[in-house]
């Protein structure tokens, strides 16, 4: 394909530091959770990566188990990176994770030192990389001592296989305990990754958002569009090619009740009044919250990436708009 990035790619994107660290992330990052596995179209994957990078999205977020099948998203992204985008590696932030079920037996899951270090080695081989920029522990593990998991992250960074450590799906109390351990080890723990959206306020309830602010760590948000509920795709019913129809693992048809549809329609009206699509307003709402560094988007085609990035044209809200959104969603 002989990809050449656009020279003006940094002119419109916003970048924010992860807490007190020196690393900046784009306001919008590209997540490869969906549509980059073996069931995806490789040429379309390339176009999405090119469109993202041409638009100033420097951060590409993966995990060991992204697919299907598990590992295939890393392998496909590695192919794109090494064949088409290798000259831009130093302009990119590449992250991956380990914590969920990846291979059979007792050593392919959760938070042991053995699992985390082996998983990252496998991830680096799949992507043909010497290092990733951020390596996350993907979820809390009540059965493994927290110190062991944090020690593994520290050793991974000190080995040069990752530049920074991150935590994903942690609550506030556990994150603060982990931060203390990592600070004592002088490990550059800089970022948390959690789910957050107009419909899902868990990070407010479990203390992680306030804890990240207090600990001066970054927060990057996944599922800001509530697995597609906040995209506007369901205003007229359920399309045949929607995720509800094609992949019921994460978004089930039962989620689209009459009550939910009414909420989506009311939110859509607020977005129209702001001159935005529902997706743009939902992304702007998350990005506008105190303590948020970046929002992760997923996409099935390049045009969705461009539409989502356009949320940056209006990221401020009036008090009346925020109150109206809360009244509808909560």
Residue 255 has what pLDDT?
75
Q: What is the pLDDT of residue 1?
A: 67
pLDDT at 232: 83
* pLDDT computed for residue 269 by the predictor: 97
Q: Which fold has domain 15-235+280-317?
A: TIM Barrel (3.20.20)
How far is Cα 121 from Cα 168, in angstroms, rounded to an integer?
A: 19
pLDDT at site 239: 67
CA distances from 10 to 15, 56, 231, 280, 305 (A): 10, 5, 26, 20, 16
Neighbours of 253 (CB within 10 A): 11
pLDDT score recorded for residue 243:
58
The string of pLDDT tens digits covering residues 239-259 is 666 656 555 555 667 778 889
- Establish whether the linkage from the previous residue to 108 is cis, with ω within 30° of 0: no
Burial of 106 (0-12, 13-18, 19+ CB in 10 A): exposed
Mean of the per-residue pLDDT values of the chain: 95
pLDDT at 315 over 90: yes
Q: Is this structure's pTM higher than 0.85?
A: yes
pLDDT tens, residue by residue, 159-201: 999 999 999 999 999 999 999 999 999 999 999 999 999 999 9
C-beta of residue 47 within 8 angstroms of C-beta of residue 55 = no
Which ranges constitute the DSSP H helices of 196-330?
Answer: 202-205, 208-215, 243-246, 258-274, 278-288, 302-309, 319-329
pLDDT at residue 2 above 80?
yes
Q: Tell me what pLDDT residue 245 has.
A: 57
Q: What are the sequence ranges of the domains in the chain?
A: 15-235+280-317
Residues 34-86: tens digit of each pLDDT:
999 999 999 999 999 999 999 999 999 999 999 999 999 999 999 999 999 99
The predicted-structure confidence for 83-115, as pLDDT tens digits, reads as follows: 999 999 999 999 999 999 999 999 999 999 999
Per-residue confidence (pLDDT) for residue 247, from 0 to 100: 59
Whether the pLDDT of residue 139 is over 70: the answer is yes
Q: What is the mean pLDDT of residues 133-140?
A: 98
pLDDT at 297 (0 to 100): 98
How confident is the model at residue 256, as a pLDDT? Answer: 81
Residues 6+ apart with CB under 8 A from 83: 1
pLDDT tens-digit map of 215-238: 999 999 999 999 999 998 888 767
CA 226 remoteness from chain centre:
12
């Amino acid at each position: 394909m002989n990809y050449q990035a656009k020279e003006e790619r940094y002119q419109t994107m916003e970048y924010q530091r992860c807490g007190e660290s020196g690393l900046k992330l784009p306001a919008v990052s590209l997540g490869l959770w969906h549509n980059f596995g073996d069931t995806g179209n490789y040429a379309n994957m390339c176009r999405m990566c090119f469109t993202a990078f041409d638009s100033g999205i420097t951060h590409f977020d993966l995990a060991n188990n992204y697919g299907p099948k598990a590992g295939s998203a890393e392998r496909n992204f590695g192919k794109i990176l090494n064949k088409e985008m290798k000259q831009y590696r130093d302009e990119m932030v590449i992250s991956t994770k380990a914590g969920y079920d990846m291979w059979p037996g007792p050593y392919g899951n959760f938070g042991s030192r053995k699992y985390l270090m082996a998983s990252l080695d496998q991830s680096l081989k799949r992507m043909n990389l010497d290092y990733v920029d951020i390596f996350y522990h993907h979820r809390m593990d009540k059965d493994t001592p927290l110190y062991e998991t944090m020690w593994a992250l520290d050793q991974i960074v000190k080995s040069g296989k990752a530049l920074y450590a991150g935590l994903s799906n942690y609550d506030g109390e556990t994150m603060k305990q982990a931060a203390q351990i990592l600070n004592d080890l002088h490990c550059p723990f800089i970022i948390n990754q959690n789910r957050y959206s107009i419909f899902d306020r868990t990070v407010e309830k479990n203390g992680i958002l306030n804890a990240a602010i207090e600990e001066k760590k970054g927060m990057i948000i996944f599922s800001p569009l509530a697995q597609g509920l906040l995209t506007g795709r369901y205003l007229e019913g359920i399309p045949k090619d929607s995720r509800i129809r094609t992949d019921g693992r994460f978004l089930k048809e039962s989620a689209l009740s009459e009550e939910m549809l009414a909420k989506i329609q009311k939110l859509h009206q607020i977005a129209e009044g702001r001159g935005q699509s529902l997706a743009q307003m939902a992304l702007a709402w998350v990005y506008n919250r105190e303590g948020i560094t970046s929002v992760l988007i997923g996409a099935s085609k390049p045009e969705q990436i461009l539409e989502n990035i356009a949320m940056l044209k209006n990221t401020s809200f009036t008090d009346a708009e925020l109150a109206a959104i809360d009244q509808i969603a909560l």
